[in-house]
Each structure stands twice: as structure tokens, then as C-alpha cells.
Amino acid sequence: MSFTEILFYVFSAVLVVSALGVITARNPVYSALWLVFAFFNSAIIWMLLEAEFLAIILILVYVGAVMVLFLFVVMMLDIKVEELRAGFTRYAWLGLPIALLVIGEIGSVVWVKSQDDKALGLSSVASPAAYAADYSNTKALGQLLYTEYLYPLQLAASILLIAIVAAIVLTMRKRSGQKVQDIGAQISVKAKDRVRIVKVAAVQPETGNTVEGQS
């Protein structure tokens, strides 16, 4: 077993533990933080596959941005943990068979196939040779992405455009009755618009009567 393989098993074990933490943590904020840890470990596993650009993008985009969105949603929904726990067993009759089915499918692919024919099994796929030290994963990705996968790239741009439009349509609200400063109007105002000078007749201090002609 090589050093890389040992690293893979160590970080996969940590990844599985942190994924279990995501679904078992009582507080949704804690499970979001467990998910951050899981993302870091899967980034390391991608790095072991020598996909360095994808590993760094996983940390930048998922840990840096997607997790912030998750935390926003958790805080905006104002989830009470006790109410969530109450519904846990109610859906277990549906969730458990689905979970067992998925486990069975994964097991059949990984285990049974590796026994029957060598086409899909783990032992039949040889690990690729390690790249040289000056190999640039980013460059290789760019050469494929902008020549062979042009159409999927434009599709990705369209999906991002849809995301912009959908986010604005769903969450933009103009609130009425706001007091907003209009700086242009403030500067261009004239003194006569604001101040009105009123002639008031003077009052004599002793008698309190008004005196005509004096000011």
C-alpha cells in the first residue's frame, strides 16, 4: 500500500465521519459546519486524484459561498430543533427502504460486479500513472473546456443567467413608504423654497400693545 493510498483511506474515513455528523447533528448550524469539514476532505481527495484546480475551486466556491447560502437559509427559515425531531420517525417508513435500496445498489455495483466480471470492479481499473511535477491541471482543463466542451460551457452560462433572474424575481421586493435621501434634490434646493420670511409687527415690552410704524 503506497503512501497516497494510506492518505486516501485516512481522509475518506474522516469524510465519512463528517458526513455522518451532517445528518446526526441536532443543530442545523452545526450540521452546516460539519458539511464544511466534509467539503475540505473531499477537496483533499480530489487533490489526491491530481485534480488541483477542482480541489481549490471546491474550497473557494462550496466552502466560501455555497455554505454561506446554506447558513442563510438555515437562519432565515428559523427552524426549531424540537419540531424537526418530532417528524423524524413519521417519515422513517419511507426513508429506510430508500436508504437500504441505495446501499444495495452501491454494494451490487462495487462488490458483485467485481466478483462476476472484471469490467466494473475495483481491481480491474489500474490506477493512473502519477503526473510530473510541472503538470498543470488548470491548463489541461482549459484546453478541454474551451475546445471540446464549448457547447456545455455556453449551457453553463445560460444556467447561471437563469440563476440570476430567478434569484431576483423570487427575492426582490420594493418596499413602499421608504424615506430615501435624494442628494440631487437636496443640493439643487433654493433658499426661498424652504424659508418663508414673514413681516410681524413689533410688540412693545411694557404694555404688550402693538405699535404702528415702529420696527
Give min distance, CB of 72 to other proteins, in A.
Answer: 5
Question: Of 82, 96, 8, which Cα lies nearest the Cα of 48?
Answer: 8
Cell matching residue 213: 410704524
CA–chain centroid gap for 179, Å, is 32
Interface with other proteins, residue 4, by CB under 8 A: yes
DSSP collapsed to 3 states, 180-195: CCCHHHHHCCCHHHHC
Question: Of 38, 48, 37, 39, which Cα lies nearest the Cα of 3?
Answer: 48
Give min distance, CB of 48 to other proteins, in A.
Answer: 7
- Per CB under 8 A, contacts with other proteins among 61-100 are 61, 64-66, 68-69, 72-73, 75-76, 78
- Per CB under 8 A, contacts with other proteins among 140-159 are 140-143, 145-147, 150, 153-154, 156-158
User: Which residues does residue 210 pair with via DSSP β-bridges, in sequence order?
Assistant: 203
* Amino acid identity at 62: Y
Q: 46, 58 in Cβ contact below 8 A?
A: yes
Q: 55, 43 in Cβ contact below 8 A?
A: yes
Give min distance, CB of 125 to other proteins, in A.
Answer: 19
Nearer to other proteins, 173 or 192 (CB): 173
Interface with other proteins, residue 9, by CB under 8 A: no
Name the site residues for other proteins (rule: CB under 8 A): 4, 7, 47-48, 50, 52-53, 57, 60-61, 64-66, 68-69, 72-73, 75-76, 78, 130-133, 135-143, 145-147, 150, 153-154, 156-158, 160-161, 163-165, 167-168, 171-174, 178, 180
